[in-house]
Amino acid sequence: MTDHAAHKDVSSWATKALHEAGKPGSKVLYATVTPEFAAEILPVWEPFNVFRPGTPPITPRDELAVYYELPEDILALKVNAINAHVSQVEAILEAVGPDVCATASAHEGEASYDGWANKGLEHYGSLGIAAEVLPLKTREDAHRDEVLAQLDGASAIFFSGGNPARLAQVVVGTPFWAALEIAIRAGLPYAGCSAGVACLTEKTYDSDSQDFDSIWAPGIGYVRDTLFGPHWDIVDTWIPGATDFIAGSVGSGDTFIGLDEDTAMVGDGRSWEVIGRAKVHVLRAGEWTRYAEGDEIELPLPLADEAA
């Protein structure tokens, strides 16, 4: 594949073994790449001289003896194994950047932070996507140049769960959030679950509170005139009557978006598609509309930078 001597030695041993001891009908299959894979990957790897001139071999897909895509669990193991070879891949990851930056503020102690961070890494690792956790635990961290620098080269950013009010307190009005807004406007995808969604609006939930009278707290205020309700189909199991209270708290002219478990809305900020096993519930002008997987939603979200 790479024309490295050790790799060629192994290939020649396998070929020799086939000729000398192989049973009738036995084959040795040689690694190759498709033209599509080469077009996508080789420009990324070129600065690191991984492939010597004339390599890797390229074979049209319809001429392959075997074409195999790793299952997600095996792919995750492979990615983790590659990342463990720090001396070989560290410079490449630093130059190319991670595919996803996962964030989690340490609002409920180190155990909570590590738990949410690991969930993000495990999720993206299962998809074969390189991810790293931003060390964003306090407002002081949100002012650190090295944390801001990790946004450079990221393909997406993911905010995980916990207490939405605490997450908002950590990032709102900081250089990190200002840099992130610029990156989002430039096309960086933002993804979030639980608190990572709920924190975006002008008011959000203090999930440490069990009292309706003290549940509301300031959010980041990036999404205006809107309130998100993650975990919408199970909220009442946590606090009976919570869904009625939350829906009744939506301001006149505002929009409420309830997202059931294992369900998401994906889009460009104006047009959305629902994916997942359950539904997205939208309350506008006093009327509920419910959307299931595959449904499209025309719902422009007012953003702070657009209102400025």
CATH code (residue 245): 3.40.50.880
Same domain, 113 and 185: yes
Q: Letter for the amino acid at 305?
A: D
State how far the Cα of 296 lies from the Cα of 268, in Å rounded to an integer.
12
Please, are residues 280 and 269 in contact by the beta-carbon 8 Å criterion? Answer: no
pLDDT reading at 177 higher than 60? yes
One domain for residues 31 and 134: no
Among 31, 46, 68, residue at a domain's last position: 68
Q: Which of 40, 68, 96 is the last residue of a domain?
A: 68
Both 291 and 174 in one domain: the answer is yes
H or E stretch covering 77: helix 72-84
Does 112 lie in the same domain as 209? yes
**In this structure, what token pair is assigned to residue 182?**
């610029």
- How far apart are alpha carbons 183 and 157 in whole angstroms? 10
What is the spatial distance between Cα 49 and Cα 163, in angstroms, rounded to a whole number? 45
125 lies in some domain: yes
pLDDT band at 18 (very low <50, low <70, confident <90, very high): confident
pLDDT in tens, 114-133: 777 887 888 888 888 888 88
* Domain total of the chain: 2
The answer on 55 and 198 residing in a single domain is no
170 exposure class (CB count in 10 Å sphere: 0-12, 13-18, 19+): buried
Q: What value does the mean pLDDT take over residues 212-225?
A: 95
Q: Of 20-24, 31-35, 74-78, 151-155, where does mean pLDDT reach its minimum?
A: 74-78
CA distance 289 to 281: 6
Residue 301 tokens, joined: 């979200």
Q: Are 199 and 219 in contact (CB under 8 A)?
A: yes
Interatomic CA distance for residues 204 and 219, integer angstroms: 5
Residues 6 or more apart whose CB falls under 8 angstroms from that of 257 comprise 226, 227, 228, 229, 265, 280, 281, 282, 283, 299
- 16 phi/psi in degrees, rounded to 5: -65, -40
Q: What is the pLDDT of residue 50?
A: 72
Same domain for 228 and 293, yes or no, is yes
Task: Report, as an integer, the average pLDDT of 18-35.
Answer: 88
Same domain membership, residue 164 and residue 33: no
In a shared domain, residues 99 and 18 = no
Q: Dihedral sign, CA of 195, 198, 203, 207?
A: negative
Of 47, 68, 89, which marks where a domain is finished?
68
Token pair for 69? 């895509």
For residue 276, is pLDDT > 60? yes
Is residue 73 in a domain?
Answer: no
Radius of gyration of the chain measured on its C-alpha atoms: 24
Length of the chain: 308
Closest CA to 223 of 148, 153, 172: 172
How is residue 112 written in tokens? 């909570």
Token look-up 């004339």 returns 54
Which tokens go with 302? 């007012």
Q: Would you say residue 33 lies in a domain? A: yes
Domain for residue 257, yes or no? yes
Both 56 and 115 in a single domain?
no
In a domain, 74, yes or no: no
**Helical spans, DSSP H, in 85-194:** 86-96, 110-126, 145-149, 164-171, 175-185
Question: How far is 119 from 160, CA to CA, in rounded Å?
Answer: 9
Assigned domain for 124 exists: yes
Do 100 and 54 lie in one domain? The reply is: no
Q: Are 147 and 285 found together in one domain? A: yes
**Residue-wise pLDDT tens digits, 85-94:** 666 666 666 5
pTM here?
0.67
Q: Which domain holds residue 223?
A: 79-307
Beta strands 131-133; 100-103: pairing state: parallel
pLDDT at 107: 47
Comparing 23-32, 179-188, 194-203, 282-291, which segment has the lowest mean pLDDT? 23-32
155 in Cβ contact with 97 (< 8 Å): yes
- Cis bond before residue 56 (omega within 30° of 0): yes
Task: Say if strands 157-159 and 100-103 run parallel, antiparallel, or are unpaired.
Answer: parallel
First and final C-alpha spacing in the chain: 54
Based on the fold, state whether residues 256 and 299 are members of the same structural domain: yes
Task: Please report whether residue 145 resides in a domain.
Answer: yes
Within-domain flag for 91: yes
